[in-house]
Structure 1
Amino acid sequence: TGTALGLVVLLLARRHRPPRGTLRSATGLLVVPLVTAGLAAAAALDTTPRGTGETADIAVIQGNVPRLGLDFNAQRRAVLENHLRVTAELADDVEAGTAVRPDVVLWPENASDISPLADRQAGAQISALSRRLDAPILVGTVLRVGDGPEATNSYLVWDGRSPEPAADPVVDRHDKKYIQPFGEWLPLRAPLEAVFPIARTAGHFVPGDGDGMVTAAGIDFGVAICFEIAFDAAAREPVARGAQILTVPTNNATFGRSPMSYQQLAMSRVRAVEHHVPVLVAATSGVSAVIGPDGQVLQKTGIFEPATLSAQVESDSAGTMATRLGGIPQMVSCLIGFVGLGWALIRTRRRPATECEET
């Protein structure tokens, strides 16, 4: 925005340039785009000391869905069973010695829309797998708020390894903060539902208010659920607070075979570079991916197929100058641009018409 405003200022100056001092005026006006470019370069410059090589073994589970489209939730039990089955296959391989035992297992958004807190069978099944793998499982689910239709889109750290039967397996939780209008919630619901019956399919989700972080197996994970990854703060804030791995649990079944799954993958790569943080995308139906801090896609799955990704991820080197500065460069460049634009408009209005004609 600041660069665009700077160009507007330069165009105005070129159209109504004064007869004397042209070089000085042009030099002053060039400050806007140059300062903007400098701020952008400074924000991208990585001066944060790198870690000492600590790593974590992470497994990403893609269970797949029974069918495409927005109505996939009609078979919620089948989606859960798919993720249980693929995770059980990983446990079989670990016990057989053909796969590395993970420190943490990541499930996608909506992997268990049957709440494991309310459904004892679902909770027991997830706990059993947590014990077999000797690792917490991060579970995407939907949790009701009170007795009404409202719910949270939640990511639970499910650790079923406690020998105490009454122990709470949920050791941490993130509720999606940046919920999407017309999909996850509906503004002006009553009139819209009256006019457009399809509006009744919009969700009743409410936003969370957490810090965007969960801790599992002693590792701090940033969580950006689905298209939360499009919001700067959803990635920056948890990394600024100490998260060393960024997770993107997502339900891409709603996107079908459209390019949106790959668009989301591209956004995740940008966040990896922006904050020098490894990013793990766990999708119900793909594309799941392991992305390095340099934005390189190290592993990825196809779409609409069950799959498991196992990766050794560096867990102590996240953070850049962009993490620390946040939106400051954008605000400064916009401010400079607005000041320059105002200066150009005032100068051209004050100049006599004859001077402009002579020029």
Structure 2
Amino acid sequence: MRTQVGIIGAGPAGLMLSHLLHLQGIESVVIESRTREEIESTIRAGVLEQGTMDLLHEVGLGRRMAAEGTLHHGFELAFNGTRHRIDLKDLTGHAISVYAQHEVIKDLVAARVAADAKIVFGVVETSLHNVDTETPSIRYQKDGEEHSVECDFVIGCDGSQGVSRQAIPENARKDYQRLYPFGWFGILVEAPPSSDELIYARHERGFALISTRSSTVQRMYFQCDPKDSVDNWSDDRIWHEMHARVDQSDGWKLTEGRIFQKNIVGMRSFVSSVMQHGRLFLAGDAAHIVPPTGAKGMNLAINDVRILADGLEQFYREGKEDFLTTYSETALKRIWRAEHFSWWMTSMLHQFQDASPFQQQMQLSELSYVTASRAAATALAENYVGKAATH
């Protein structure tokens, strides 16, 4: 099989890049290890920055997001038994939308199928070849048969455990990582929303987050030991813990419901300082991971492929590689800003087991300042909606 751009991974990054290239008349093939049903049903959080929302509308994929997503003009920080609202719209002129990642994937897959795009699901034994030449290729197996995609460029959008980043020699890149000593216990609940907006709560028992998926399904998290097991947590124990962390002194309480999913996710920060090698380019989780506190993961992935799409368009229209040559440098400015913001939010809101009373007071002082100072609240809001400067 021959194409212009071979894309590994049918997540938001890979599918969005394929769609953007299609709109520019550039051919692509997407290969994915999971089935279409798996990628469309794996429920993951989705807080979309203003720029991500704008792009979905620009490329004709914003209709369902606008109809079914929830537009939020602010969110709340809760500590010391009181909630404090960060007014995103007032502080930045922008908003965010809560629209789950698997819903974005459904929209992207539908658009690619409608355009007769080539997406190969359920592949195994994927490998990259000749990426440091002008004739790279991707090999894989499908239904027991060997296949090869010959292309001009390979784009690795296959996540942190994929093969793409490993194809860049270790001596050609430098990786940065921070592992956090806690995880998030997540639940999906059949219940009406507890709040009109997201609530980020700092409590002496640990962090908690109240989010939403729809008018009938809510997503909630609380800080936990990443080595814990969901089997140790009965529904009653979960609700007791959630109430302890988020119920407020003014009488506000979260709304309970039937818990139909439980999971524990670890947390880390990771950046590969080199996102390109020859004709191989990395995007999304293949190149960087952020803790979910800052709600940046999918937004960073979309930003990566927006930059790549511009570079590939320049290459095919003008025969120039200026944008592609500077891809890592350009993308990393935004990535490091988001990494810092996500680390800062995580550090301000979570309990660290080895934190001294002094350090705990520093957290509370930071929260008090952020919620009392318009300048500090504006800095937080600009980062949250994706408006913060990267220069």
Normalising by structure 2, we get a TM-score of 0.21
Question: Max radius of gyration: which structure?
Answer: 1
The TM-score, its normalising length taken from structure 1, stands at 0.23
- Relative to total residues, which structure has the larger strand share, 1 or 2? 2
